[in-house]
Amino acid sequence: MRINVLVAEIGSTTTVINAFQDIHTLCPKFIGQGQSPTTVLEGDVNIGLQGAIEDLRKKLDVDKIEYDEMLATSSAAGGLKMTVHGLVYDMTVRAAKEAALGAGAIIHKITAGKLKRTDIKKFLEIKPNIILIAGGVDYGERDTAIYNAEKIAELNLKTPIIYAGNIENQEEIKEIFGESGNELYIVENVYPKIDQLNIEPTRRVIQDAFEAHITQAPGMKKVREMVKGPIIPTPGSVMEASKLLKEALGDLVTFDVGGATTDLHSVTEGSEEINRILLSPEPLAKRTVEGDLGVYVNMLNIVERIGKEKLQEELALNIDKMIEEHQPIPKTAEQIKFVERLTLKAVEVALERHVGKLRHLYGPGGKMTVAEGKDLSNVEYIIGTGGALTRLPNRVEILKTAIKKNTQNMLLPKEEAKILIDNDYIMASLGVLSKRYPEAALSLMKQSMGI
């Protein structure tokens, strides 16, 4: 059988392959999904990829699978590890962090100001895939970014460097890294003026740099040879899909609950009323990743947050037994009930950490109300993706319950927001597909969500 496009999602534990047909027509189709364990530990992720293709072949009941194109997303071998270094945390560092997270990175270290010896020690332990240096508005402070660049160049890490700071430093940065062996990307400043974010250029370059250097994961060189199109980080692909859907439908929030993490992507400008009292700017597209909230690997963290006694009382289950018998994919009615409660807590906490809040300040003029963080009050659609929110029976109720939480002063979506589920579990694949075929990706996304 010949398939138009295969999209591989090479995860840290599972590799999934999604097959799409009639991609060049007005009616593209999702025709099947295969999966296999990811084989990083065997020293070659290509084994897992071939296993997923074989699984797809069996499910489609065909003798052989051939394809015109293969695209890929990857979070194998720890995903995209980054460190971010800026000047002032609330300004350039925050802007650089937003760019990195929006591109699908996992940030292992953030520094503000000049690098200290302890920072450099930690840095060497992390071995980041990409280093992002920012600092200073355009034509403002210059010394911190130059000092940090010199310290990083001395380490001889041969890691790609992105410079997204004060425009005046660009030639100096080129000089510093000119003979260091690091690949250097010079980008527009992420924070060119006070209270102005410019994160999209950096976000795009992070994905380009990731794609250029992804072959460092075991066996990814072979995958790179098979893939004709882009390879981007899996969370970055979910963000691309969310941005595409926002253009078609309106402001939205995407919850992606996985075994190890819970990601939340919001694509909204917020309301005019809140924007007028916002203390500092927020990006249109924002991602937060909660590395402690996963319903399999980090299940115990969520159990602890709820409390064993409370869980026992709510679910009428033996919680110790549930923990002992916990599996990546729940099978029994009891296991499903347990995972649904964990998922609800993961969604609630992720939303609480992501959403902005109103604050009341008191001064000589009396009480003044200001807003901090991301305003979700204009959100029209709540999207559920990831293993938990595409497969659990009560997935829609989980999302409805989470946004009903009556927490004072939080800028939450309104209860009228419509819930949509990525029923085919293909949103990450469609993000990378949209780089080549945006119309087809949007059509497939709507089909998956029953629109």
Q: Has this prediction a pTM greater than 0.95?
A: no
Residue 397 lies in a domain: yes
Q: Are residues 73 and 106 in the same domain?
A: no
Beta carbons within 8 Å of 347's beta carbon, 6+ residues apart: 255, 257, 262, 389, 398, 399, 402
pLDDT higher than 90, residue 377: yes
The residue range of the domain holding 373 is: 234-448
Asked whether residue 299 falls in the same domain as residue 176, the answer is no
Return the pLDDT at 77: 57
Within a domain: 22: yes
In a domain, 19, yes or no: yes
| Residue 81 · residue 129 · CB < 8 Å | yes
Query: Is 156 exposed, middle or buried (CB count within 10 Å of its CB: 0-12, 13-18, 19+)?
Result: exposed
Same domain, 64 and 102: no
Residue 341, SS3?
A: helix
Query: Packing angle between helix 333-354 and helix 299-306, nearest 10 degrees?
Result: 80
Q: Among 157, 182, 215, give the residue marking a domain's end.
A: 215
For 306, the token pair is: 């709820």
Let me know if residue 229 belongs to a domain: no
Residues 179 and 97 in one domain: yes
Does residue 428 share a domain with residue 390? yes
CATH number of the CATH domain containing 338:
3.30.420
Q: Does 225 reside within a domain?
A: no
Question: Both 444 and 311 in a single domain?
Answer: yes
In a domain, 338, yes or no: yes
445 band by pLDDT with thresholds 50, 70 and 90: very high
The mean pLDDT value for 275-301 works out to 89
Nearest by Cα to 86 from 173, 180, 209, 191? 191
State residue 225's pLDDT score: 77
Residues 312, 444, single domain; the answer is yes
Same domain, 304 and 379: yes
Same domain, 166 and 282: no
- Same domain for 68 and 87, yes or no, is no
Backbone φ and ψ for 154, nearest 5 degrees, come out as: -65, -20
In a domain, 140, yes or no: yes
> What is the maximum alpha-carbon separation in the chain?
79
CB neighbour burial string for 105-127, b if at least 16 within 10 angstroms, e if fewer = bbbbbbbbbebeeebeeebeeee
What digits encode the pLDDT tens for the residues 27-51? 999 999 998 887 655 667 788 888 9
Res 112: pLDDT: 93
Judged against a pLDDT cut of 80, whether residue 223 lies above it is answered with: no
Distance (Å) of CA 391 to CA 210, 336, 350, 395: 30, 10, 19, 7
Same domain, 130 and 269: no
Q: Which of 150, 185, 215 is the last residue of a domain?
A: 215
Q: Identify each DSSP E strand in 268-365 by its residue range.
A: 285-290, 357-363
Domain count, the chain: 3
Distance CA 14, CA 39 (A): 8
Mean pLDDT of the 330-359 span: 93
Here the CATH number for the domain that contains residue 21 is 3.30.420.40
Same-domain pairing of 286 and 196: no
**Domain membership flag for residue 21:** yes
CATH code for position 101: 3.40.50.2300
370 vs 158 pLDDT, higher one: 370
pLDDT of residue 274: 92
Task: From 47, 77, 107, give the residue that closes a domain.
Answer: 77
